[in-house]
Amino acid sequence: MKLKLKIWRQAGPKAKGGFETYDIDGISPDTSFLEMLDILNNNLIHAGKEPVVFDHDCREGICGACSLHINGYAHGPDSEITTCQLHMRKFRDGDTITIEPWRSAAFPVVKDLVVDRQAFDKILQAGGFVSVNTGGVPDANSIPVAKDDAEESMDAAACIGCGACVATCKNGSAMLFVAARVSSLAKLPQGKIEASRRAKAMVARMDELGFGSCTNTQACEAACPKGISITHIARLNREFLKAKLKD
């Protein structure tokens, strides 16, 4: 495959960025998207040019680090996958592919295609945890959890914090991420003790960090590589309102 790549290059957070075009040839349709970028960088290094900086870690669809906007789609033009799971057979020979970093005020560009997603960590630090001293590890069956509740909690916990929901939302909202974290704990007995403060604290921190408001367009659900439903946002709203009523 012969491709033309339009890639966003930016030297640093305060530098002015812009697109640069690169031609690449000999790419197998079975090559993953990140492997294609590896090949490009290898070519650039051999040509004495600076390689493109992009983020990655596990390359197994687990960590969510490979956050790229490809031809206008978060993680590329395929559903329920991360960028590392995208293969070049989704494109055609001769295609022009536009590659950008996440576009969100809360995710400033570090360099080229890498953004700073520490805002998600700060939201989690505000309440996305269980801090109650439970003593030793309890027996697996000592705290009964209904099957439906356990499955729904696990579905919410599948969130990998990649930020695709924020990058896709026209408002730059982090509601799906926050809702998934709140919902995964709200459905379990272990999460009930701190429930009254969790939703309030995480929503307040989300607002402080500059994320936008949710207008229920469902763009976040469509872009989520783990297919997390916006029904979790409804639960977040209920948890938040219950906490406010207690106040």
User: pLDDT digits over 120-129, tens only?
Assistant: 999 999 999 8
Mean pLDDT computed over 3-9 = 98
CB 166 within 8 A of CB 172: yes
- pLDDT score, position 142: 76
Tens digits of residue pLDDT in 51-67 = 999 999 999 999 999 99
User: Distance (Å, rounded) from C-alpha 182 to C-alpha 199?
Assistant: 7
- Please identify which residue in the block is written with the tokens 């520490």: 118
Q: Which of 134-138, 152-156, 166-170 has the lowest mean pLDDT?
A: 134-138
Mean pLDDT computed over 167-184 = 96
- pLDDT score, position 138: 67
Question: Length of the chain, please?
Answer: 247
CATH of domain 117-246: 1.10.1060.10
Rg from Cα positions in the chain: 20
Please give the structure tokens belonging to residue 229.
Answer: 């439903």
DSSP label at residue 140: T
Mean pLDDT computed over 19-40 = 97
Angle at 95 between CA 91 and CA 99, to 5 degrees: 80
Alpha carbon of 145 to those of 68, 115, 193, 213: distances in Å? 38, 38, 15, 33
Please give the structure tokens belonging to residue 149.
Answer: 């509740």
Tens digits of residue pLDDT in 179-236 = 999 999 999 988 888 888 999 999 999 999 999 999 999 999 999 999 999 999 999 9
Question: Buried b / exposed e across 142-178, counting CB within 10 Å, b at 16+?
Answer: eeeeeeeeeebbebbbebbbbbbbbbbbebbbbbbbb
- pLDDT score, position 67: 93
Cα dihedral sign, 56-57-58-61: negative
Please give the structure tokens belonging to residue 18.
Answer: 């812009």
Give, for 36, the enclosing helix (H) or strand (E).
helix 33-46
- Domains of the chain by residue range: 3-111, 117-246
User: Distance (Å, rounded) from C-alpha 36 to C-alpha 56?
Assistant: 13
- Please identify which residue in the block is written with the tokens 């499955």: 151
Q: Which of 16-20, 27-31, 136-140, 236-240 has the lowest mean pLDDT?
A: 136-140
pTM to 2 decimals? 0.91
Q: What is the DSSP string of 152-181?
A: HHHHHHT-----HHHHHSTT-B-HHHHHHH
Which CATH class, in words, describes the domain spanning 3-111? alpha beta
User: Distance (Å, rounded) from C-alpha 237 to C-alpha 247?
Assistant: 15
The residue ranking higher by pLDDT, 132 or 247, is 247
CB 149 within 8 A of CB 136: no
Q: Where does the pLDDT of residue 137 fall: very low under 50, low under 70, confident under 90, or very high at 90 and above?
A: low
- pLDDT score, position 131: 78
- pLDDT score, position 89: 96
CB 180 within 8 A of CB 159: yes
Q: Where does the pLDDT of residue 140 fall: very low under 50, low under 70, confident under 90, or very high at 90 and above?
A: low
